[in-house]
Chains A and B, each alone.
Chain A
Amino acid sequence: MVDGEEHQVDPRSVKVARIIGVPLTLLFAMVPLIAFTLGKVLRGMPTRIYLSLLGGLLVLLALFLLVAYLWPAARHRRLRYLVDEGGLRIRRGVFWRMVIWIPITRVQHTDFSQGPVQRRFGLATLTVHTAGTAGASISLEGLEYEIAKRLCEHLRPDRVTHAS
């Protein structure tokens, strides 16, 4: 793992993101759906307008669902991390890309967290905190639990200080 090679995060993270993203999109679609239906029932909105609004909503929903399904895969394809003796590099972004280097000597502390869905798949999110401002905390989602734990240990700042 500490090999200076680029790695991808666990491919199951795509599934995790979809399991969260798709129902969330459906949930958001409920809001206008309820509003339109209330408009029809309580305020007597003409059926033609109601149906065309529903049609529009359906088209939008299909579009958003497609994005919610495809986006995690695209994001996963672009997300790479590299760990060497001195630090962590993350390369990410589908359209707007970025590479960030976090030297261990600048790490304040690290932690990792697991959401409920992530736990089912044995995945975790690693967060590295620095004293910086824009890069005060940097997260890496979708790591396998064991890897996240070992990275968390590897990136501890006092480890390097004692070694040197």
Chain B
Amino acid sequence: MHPDARRLNRWSWIFIAAGTARTLIFPVIGATVVSGGVLLARLDLLSLIFIVPALVYAVIKQKVYNYRFTESELVVRDGLLTRNVRHISYERIHNVTLVRNPFHRMLGLVTARVETAAGGKPEALLRVLSLEAAEELRRYTLGEQEETTSTDAPLLQVPDRELVRLGLISNRGFLVVAVVLGGVSQTQWWDQDWAAILEKVRARAPEWMGWLFESWSITGGVLFGVVFALCFLVLLRLVSIGWYLVRYRGFTLQQKDNDLRAEYGLLTKVSSLIPVHRIQLVTVSVTFLHRCFGRASIDLETAGASDAGSDLSGQLATSGVHNTRQWLAPIVEAERATELLREVLPEIDIDAVEWEPIEARAVRRIVNRAAMIITPVTLIIAAVLTFTPIPLSGWYALWLPAVTLSIIWLITRRWVRRAGYALTDCAIFFRSGWLGRQISVVRFVNMQTVSMHQSPFDHRKRMASLAVDTAGAGGLGHRIRIPFLDVDIAESILKRLYVETRSTEFRW
């Protein structure tokens, strides 16, 4: 071991073992359910199979793991059988995220994730460090000042009532309920004699409700359905509110020198540092529900790893989807959103840009294409109505194109009118949305390649779409992809963007 090397905290083995246990918990629960509880009776066997090796692994890992700071890099040494030495230069480090759950706090410890542009998994996971060691890590890797120097007023603080609003706005509840329902369906809970249960309920119900249970009562069925749907919706929103209150409680965004620090979490406290120059793309979202509450959300993409997957709820919520976005502001008053963005990135002023429209011809193109699909369907329905004994004239089939096409026309017209792009001397903006609106911004320094695409339809109508590629772009979310541009305009923007990127240098 190098003389300067630092070890993990002496309690590390507990947290390493807990981490292993967490990845095993679902397979174990699954195995228990499948075996019909047989495994539960053999806890001794289970512990031998899972717990002992996990503990041994944790103890060894703690002994082997060490790290040191050199002039320019963090050197992490790991691995028992295959020695693994990782050199991470401070330059490449985008973010050091500190995570503290209640156990961490009880012992005054912290888990540190060192993130680079590689994305996906953190470059190094230091589980666990004392608070002083974590401060030292941040000082070396990010050149950060001592904690006490940050006395600036926070850029944003999200009180609880705002988180409740966020829970109402967001659809996060869907994911959690879906996961829960998925688990319930595994237990075959649905395989019950529902008719018998209905009988029981009917026997207990007061007299005046009897009509609800008349066989084939349509009113009863509809009423039952509506009540069920309402309960489900309320449940969704409650879960959603709860999720946000636990995960984002006390969200605070602070400016420190040139970096941003976000802190949040009720049980698991997360403290995440975002170097401003590493922000690749920013999106301001105002969905329909946001608009009802007069709020907006701002998220951003850094080229580094995501903030997801740090705890169980995070894993549930983002399972399977690689999300590279993180919040700049989970919820903020709509009027304050652009101002906040300006405080963080002074060169980006959404209020000041002059929006250019996309081609209005796009509406006709989309409606025409929809008509091409709907026409044969209409003809088939008309034929069926005419040649079968259904007592309706074939002309009734015309209702279908009349209704659908006018709806499609209304929606696309609104979408096309509200979509637009803008170029300033340092960034490109794109906005879109039918009921709500999302605006994405990429600064020229952060653009990688610029491209123009034409489908055969685009080509025939002399249109094209324009795309800007950035580092660390996840599959999800709004980004700079401008459709339905006139091909000549698209070519000239393409050229302009190329000239802009050519003359600037990309900094990681």
Chain A residues with CB under 8 Å of chain B are: 86-87, 89, 93, 95-106, 130-135, 138, 161
Instruction: Please tell me if the beta carbons of B455 and A133 are within 8 angstroms of each other in the complex.
Output: no
User: What is the bound-complex CA distance between A104 and B503, given in angstroms?
Assistant: 10
- In the assembled complex, the CB of B18 is this many whole angstroms from the nearest CB of chain A, namely 34
Complex interface: chain A residues within 8 A of B449 (CB): 100-103, 106, 130, 132, 135, 138
8 Å CB contact of A96 from B448, B454, B495: B454
A12 to chain B, nearest CB (A): 27
B473 near A: Cβ within 8 Å?
Answer: yes
Distance to closest chain B CB from A78 (angstroms): 11
Interchain CB contact under 8 A, A106 and B494: no
Query: Which chain B residues border A103 with CB–CB below 8 Å?
Result: 449, 498, 501-502
Q: Which residues of A lie under 8 Å from residue B499 when comparing CB positions?
A: 86
Give Cα distance in the complex from A32 to B494, angstroms: 47
Asked whether any CB of chain A lies closer than 8 Å to the CB of B505, the reply is yes
Please determine whether B450 and A133 come into contact, CB atoms closer than 8 angstroms. Answer: no
Greatest chain B CB density within 10 A among A95, A102, A106, A161 is at A106
Q: Do residues B472 and A87 form an inter-chain contact, with CB atoms below 8 A?
A: no
Contacts of B454 in A (CB 8 A): 93, 96-98
Cβ contact of A100, chosen from B451, B455, B474, cutoff 8 A: B451
CB-based closest 5 A-B pairs: A132-B448, A86-B502, A132-B469, A133-B473, A135-B449
Known A-B contacts A87-B498, A97-B459, A101-B498; A106 and B506 likewise in contact (beta carbons under 8 Å): yes
Interface positions, chain B 140-191, Cβ under 8 Å from A, are none
Q: Once A and B bind, how many residue pairs between them come within 8 Å at the CB atom? A: 85
Cα distance A89–B454 in the bound complex, in angstroms:
16
Known: A101-B495, A106-B448, A132-B448. 16 other contacts (CB 8 A): A86-B499, A87-B498, A95-B455, A97-B453, A101-B449, A101-B494, A105-B501, A105-B502, A106-B506, A131-B117, A132-B449, A132-B471, A133-B448, A133-B470, A133-B473, A135-B451
Smallest CB gap from B505: residue in A: A105
Q: How far is the CA of A135 from the CA of B454 in the complex (A)?
A: 17
Residues of B within 8 A of A97 (CB): 453-454, 459
Measured CB to CB, the nearest residue on chain B to A94 is: B456
**In the complex, chain B residues whose CB is within 8 Å of the CB of A89:** 498
Which positions 478-508 of chain B face chain A at CB distance < 8 Å?
491, 494-495, 497-499, 501-506, 508
Roughly how many angstroms separate A135 CA and B501 CA in the complex, as a whole number? 15
The answer on a CB contact under 8 Å between A98 and B469 is no
Query: Is residue B236 contacting chain A, with contact meaning CB distance below 8 A?
Result: no
Q: Is B467 an interface residue (CB 8 A)?
A: yes
Q: For the complex, give the distance between the alpha carbons of A109 and B153 in Å.
A: 43
Q: Which of A99, A105, A106 contacts B452 (CB 8 A)?
A: A99
Interface contact B453-A96, CB-CB below 8 Å? yes
Chain A residues lying within 8 Å of B455, measured Cβ to Cβ, are 95-96
Nearest-neighbor residue (CB-CB) of A100 within chain B: B451
Q: Which residues of B contact A (CB under 8 A)?
A: 117, 303, 447-456, 459, 467, 469-474, 491, 494-495, 497-499, 501-506, 508
CA distance A161 to B506 in the complex (A): 11
**Which residues on A sit within 8 Å (CB–CB) of B498?**
86-87, 89, 101, 103
Contact for B447 among A100, A104, A106, A138, CB less than 8 A: A106
Query: Which residue of B has the minimal Cβ distance to A95?
Result: B456
Contact A130:B448 (CB < 8 A) given known A99-B494, A106-B506: yes
B469 engages A134 (CB within 8 Å): yes
Contact of B451 among A95, A98, A105, A161 (CB under 8 A): A98
Least CB distance from B221 to A in Å reads: 49
Contact residues in A for B508 (Cβ distance below 8 Å): 131
- Give every chain A residue within 8 A of B495 (Cβ-Cβ): 101
Report if A98-B504 is in contact (Cβ < 8 Å); known contacts: A106-B447, A130-B469, A133-B471: no
A75 to B499, CA, bound (A): 28
A-B contact pairs, 11 of them (CB 8 A): A86-B499, A89-B498, A96-B455, A101-B450, A103-B501, A103-B502, A105-B505, A106-B506, A131-B506, A133-B469, A135-B469
In the complex formed, the residue of B with least CB distance to A105 is B505
Q: Tell me, rounded to whole Å, the shortest Cβ–Cβ distance linking A82 to chain B.
A: 11
Q: How distant is the Cα of A131 from the Cα of B505 in the complex, in angstroms? A: 12
Determine the residue in chain A with the shortest Cβ distance to B474: A133
Q: Is A131 a contact partner of B303 (Cβ separation < 8 A)?
A: yes
**A135: which B residues are within 8 A, CB to CB?**
448-449, 451, 469
**In the bound complex, how far is the Cα of B450 from the Cα of A89, in angstroms?**
10
Report the bound CA distance from A86 to B453 in whole Å.
22
With a cutoff of 8 Å between Cβ atoms, the chain A residues found around residue B504 in the complex are 105
Q: How far is the CB of B181 from chain A (nearest CB, A)?
A: 33
* Cα of A131 to Cα of B448 in the assembled complex, Å: 7
B502 touches A104 (CB 8 A): yes
Q: Please, how many angstroms separate the alpha-carbon atoms of A143 and B471 in the complex?
A: 28
For the complex, what is the distance from the CA of A135 to the CA of B469, rounded to whole Å?
7
Chain A residue nearest to B501 in the complex (CB): A103
Inter-chain CA distance A128–B473, complex, in Å, is 18
CA distance A135 to B470 in the complex (A): 9
| Complex Cα–Cα for A98 and B503 (A) | 23
Chain B residues contacting A134 (CB-CB under 8 Å) are 467, 469, 473
Q: By CB atoms of chain A within 10 A, which of B455, B469, B472, B499 has the most?
A: B469
Docked Cα-Cα span, A49 to B330, in Å, equals: 65
In the assembled complex, the Cα of A131 lies from the Cα of B280 at a distance in Å of 11
Chain B nearest CB from A95 CB (Å) reads: 5
- Report B440 CB to chain A, min CB distance, Å: 14
CB proximity of B495 to chain A, nearest CB, Å: 8
Task: Tell me whether A99 and B451 are in contact (CB under 8 A).
Answer: yes
- Nearest Cβ distance between residue A105 and chain B, in whole angstroms? 5
Inside 8 A of B450's CB, which chain A residues have their CB?
100-101
Q: What is the distance, in angstroms, from B157's C-beta to the closest C-beta of chain A?
A: 33
| Contact across chains for B451 and A106 when beta carbons are under 8 A apart | no
> With a CB–CB cut-off of 8 A, which chain A residues contact B470?
132-133
